[in-house]
Structure 1
């Protein structure tokens, strides 16, 4: 975080600083009580108790609050910054801090591909730029303040994921980051437990345009059927596209599967380029195309960007190939499970498995589907059979919902198994697996049993 003068922060929040609040340097701004130390400005959300006795051991601690709190009288009056609307004051601060830095900020949203696209773009940039970015897949809203404050005078470009799990998430994230470049990777059913309608979920994602003040550059997946329905008529900036569509700005001409990655050919401005990206699956070619589009906007030479992508280290648990014991192949795709990511995972499994390999899918539940759950489990079950999965193993009672539609679509009921605990699965695998099997793991329930079983089966 850039060190700030308290008086400048208060002025940005439309508060007139008093004499004792002038000349004081603030080194930490937080909404987390545990982070309070000397030279801290603390925003007190949800009427939380303030650790007054601990604060008295520090110098220059200031509390922004809209209500009184216990032992408030033990602090000096200048330490209490009473406001009418805490949320309004907080976002005046984020606006002030963000606009201290006149740099490009990339915001990435979509149902799948956010983290991978972000990591690819970061990797392209970080050899020549000082990049501030979200960490791994940690994109929940409570990380946003720390990500914003990670920007300072040394930052050249910022790349942030803007996730949506409930209404208002996109608008609020943009009030931290004020992106100048927006990427929408793809859209499918997800988080419809909190956002009950898929159309509302799509509309929430599309609010990234409002968050960009309908300016800057928007990068869209031209092959995604849902993204093609969003209204971009109010967007005044430039719209770029990527995909196999012949009119895409970054057109994916073709791609090939290799042992641990994808070779692809992409056309941009009448020139064709060849690239390679570690990580299997068509979806990774799309993620690469999105990251290349953003890099081009940021002025990166495309051959250089492609060279950087070839050394990208693929994210763990994202269709991660692992050598298992007894000559089996493990695929760890347990980072998340929603209809889109499961579909892409199963399609990639079907594509990379050899004819001689038994394709074994070990599935936990898909998360956060709400009223769409029955429909999506039915679709997934049918897909399991249609793609030629040989063995279906489900774990947890919700995941049983894959079984009936898989049988309806032609999977042999004798090739379906169900377990509740990791130890049961281990004992089963000890006697069931044979050399050359490929075993695909997928869950959306943050189920540590999957990690346990995968570790058990590693070579």
Structure 2
């Protein structure tokens, strides 16, 4: 975080600083009381208990609050910054801090591909730029302040995921980051446990345009039917499209599977380029081209971007292929599971499996589907059958919902199994697996049992 003067922060929050509050350095701004130390401005949300006795040991600690708290009188009155609306004051601060830096900020959203596209773009940029970015897939709203404050004087560009799991998430994220470039990767059913309808979920994602003040650059997957349906008429900036669609500005011409990744050919401004990305699946190509498009909008040469992507370190548990013991192949795709990512995973499994291999799918639950759960599990069961899965294994009582529709769609019921505990699965695999099997793991429940079983089966 850039060191600030308290008086400038207060002025940004429309508070007239007292003389005794002038000239004081603020080195930490936080809403987490455990992070309070000297030279800290603490925003007290949820009427949290204030560690007054600990604060007394530090120098220049100031508390922004809209209600009184225990032992408040034992602190110096100048340390208490009483406001009418704490959230409003907080976002005045985030706006002030963000606008201290005239840098491009890329915000990436979508149902799938956010983390991968962000990591790809970061990888393209980081040899020539100082990049502030979301860490891995840690994109929940409580990380936003620390990501914002990670922007400093030497930051050249910021690349953030803006996730949507409930109403208001997109608008709030944009009040931290004020993106200048937005990327929408693809949309499908997800997080409909808290956002009750798919249309509202789609609308929530589309609010990235409002968050950009309908300016800047919007990068859209032109092959996605749901993204094609969003209203962009109020967006006054530039819209850049990518995909296989013949009208896409960054057009995917074709792609080719290799043993460890994807060769692909793309066209931009009537020039054709060839790239390679470690990581299997059509979705890897889409994510790559989205990252290349964003980098181009930042002034990066396309061939340079493609050269950088060839050394991209594939993300853990994102269709990660590894060698298992006794000549089996393991695919760890357990980072998340929703209808779109499961579909992409099974399609990719079907493409890479050899005719001689038994395709074994080990599935945990899909997360956060709400009223769409029954419909989506039925669709997934049919997909399991149509993708040629030979053996279906489910783990956990919710995942058992894959079984009935899969059997109805043609999976042999004698090849369907269910387990509750990892030790049961290990014992089963000890006697069941054959050399040359390919075993695909997928779950959306943050289930460490899957990690345990995968590690058990590794070479």
Using the size of structure 1 for normalisation, the TM-score is: 1.00
Alpha-carbon distance in 1 for matches of 2:12, 2:276: 47
SS of 1:430's equivalent in the other structure is helix
| 1:197 CA displacement | 0.3
Using the alignment, how far apart are the partners of 2:211 and 2:249 within structure 1?
23
**Residues 76-101 of structure 1, C-alpha deviations (whole Å, 9 max, x = no match):** 00000000000000000000000000
Q: 1:64: which partner in 2?
A: 64
Residue 159 of structure 1: aligned partner = 159
Matched, 1:78 2:88: no
Instruction: Name the structure 2 match of 1:417.
Output: 417
Identify the residue that residue 37 of structure 1 maps to in structure 2.
37
- Residues 273-352 of structure 1 aligned to structure 2 (within 5 Å): 273-352=273-352
Q: Residue 242 of structure 1 aligns with which residue?
A: 242
Q: Secondary structure at the match of 1:256?
A: strand
- Give secondary structure in 2 for the equivalent of 1:142: helix
- Unaligned segments of structure 1, at least 5 residues: none
Instruction: Indicate the residue corresponding to 2:125 in structure 1.
Output: 125
- How many angstroms apart in 2 are the aligned matches of 1:322 and 1:37? 45
How far apart are residue 10 of structure 1 and its match? 0.2
Query: What's 2:400 paired with?
Result: 400
How far does the alpha carbon of each residue in 1:257-294 deviate from its partner, in whole angstroms, 9 at most, with x for none? 01110000000000000000000000000000100000
- Secondary structure of the residue that 1:242 maps to in structure 2? strand
Segments of 4+ in structure 1 off by > 6 A? none
* CA distance in structure 1 between the partners assigned to 2:259 and 2:12 by the alignment: 55
SS for the counterpart of 1:226 is: helix
C-alpha distance in structure 2 between counterparts of 1:74 and 1:312, whole Å: 55
1:221 is matched with 221
**What secondary structure, in the 3-state scheme, does the structure 2 residue paired with 1:73 have?**
helix
Residue of structure 1 equivalent to 2:251: 251
What is the match of residue 15 of structure 2? Answer: 15
Q: Structure 1 residue 322: deviation in Å?
A: 1.1
Task: Write the distance in 2 (CA, Å) between the matches of 1:90 and 1:186.
Answer: 32
SS at match of 2:393: strand
Q: Return the alpha-carbon distance in structure 2 between the equivalents of residues 259 and 39 of structure 1.
A: 54
Aligned equivalent of 1:105? 105
Once residues 249 and 82 of structure 1 are traced to their aligned partners in structure 2, the CA distance between those partners, rounded to angstroms, is: 51
CA distance in 2, matches of 1:276, 1:137: 23
Q: Give a deviation string over 1:286-323, Cα, whole Å, max 9, x none.
A: 00010000000000011100000000001000000111
Post-superposition CA distance 1:50-101 (Å, at most 9, x none): 0000000000000000000000011000000000000000000000000000
Deviation of 1:20 (Å): 0.8
Q: 2: distance between equivalents of 1:360 and 1:204?
A: 36
Instruction: State the alpha-carbon separation in 1 of the partners of residues 302 and 241 from structure 2.
Output: 16
SS in 1 for 2:106: strand
Q: Distance in 1 between matches of 2:406 and 2:334?
A: 21
The separation in 1 between residues aligned to 2:295 and 2:19, in whole angstroms, is 47
Superposed CA offset, 1:368-400 (max 9, x none): 000000000000000000110000000001001
Give the structure 1 partner of residue 93 of structure 2.
93
**Map of 1:205 onto structure 2:** 205
Q: CA RMSD in A?
A: 0.3
CA distance in 2 between partners of 1:427 and 1:258 (Å):
33
Q: For residues 96-124 of structure 1, what are the alpha-carbon distances to aligned partners after superposition, in whole Å with 9 as ceiling and x for unaligned?
A: 00000000000000000000000000000
Counterparts of 1:398 and 1:79 in 2: how far apart (Å)?
51
Give, in whole Å, the separation in 2 of the partners of 1:44 and 1:407.
Answer: 54
Q: Matches of 2:303 and 2:82 in 1, distance apart?
A: 54
In the alignment, what sits opposite 1:373? 373
Q: CA separation in 2, counterparts of 1:7 and 1:351?
A: 61
CA positional deviation for 1:236: 0.1
